[in-house]
Chains A and B, each alone.
Chain A
Amino acid sequence: MTGAPPAVVLQGIRKAFPAGTGRRLEVLDVEGLSIGAGTWTALKGRSGSGKTTLLNLIAGISLPTAGAIAVGGVDIVAMSEAQRDGFRARHIGYIFQTFNLLAAFSALENVMLAMMFTDAVPRRAHRQRAADLLARLGLADRLSHKAHQLSRGEQQRVAIARALANDPPLILADEPCASLDAETARDVLAEFSTVCREDARTVVIASHEDAALAAADRVLDMAEINRAGGRDAARERMTPA
């Protein structure tokens, strides 16, 4: 932990989804959570425990049913959707479990794509910035390769480079190694850890991997922080809207 102000603060967060016939499925209920700037926080828990939902809320991809979320001291729930999109592009890097590279784009273009939606990097520097990031992750000779021409480990490195493209202070990673074999997962995680630590970024990573949990400054068990108990528990006590 560092003495810096928190990068993420959640207060009284609840998230429920419509479940048909007027009923709602409450999958997340977190009383309060503060994540320090420049720290690594790992979220662990079984599938359906609410890890992805929590990351999506922090990213502003979805909104809570109730509660407040501040990222870098800014209340993202109060923002308009367009403001949230702009904020996310500039301040948050997101790494997906299945990489989500755009198939028609080269590795370089996939990274440049992230820079299109904010002016964090001057337009004329997009190509160079993307090339530098890919080189830093050992992909200097894979710039023009399309996703299907890359190994899974290489694809995830491209996804990491894309998350770092706008130099965001906060990185959210949702099971980044779940689609990789153990050895590749270890390598990718090590590189990810190195580049994020070097730049003192705040990282929130949802993972089952022991290596990811071991690398974290703090490990949060969803079973402890999520009072709703996740998807399965919510189904058992489904409540009317």
Chain B
Amino acid sequence: MDTIEKLEKWVEAHPEEADTPAMNVSTERTYTIREVLNELKREKETGVAIVDEELKEVKGHIENWLKEV
């Protein structure tokens, strides 16, 4: 199961948590899991890789997390 598929299942099971913003206290940027999922889908559909460095980091954190849930 790839990241998108796994994350979709998680979002479906946890809709409230998926829409809760989490903020990086240093940069003050917020991310919801659903937004990141949508970015991953867009990346896959368009073939255009995510270039935003912080978003790429968050993607990495989520991929790392998905290995344990």
User: Do A and B originate from a single complex?
Assistant: no
Residues of chain A whose beta carbon lies under 8 Å from any beta carbon of chain B: none
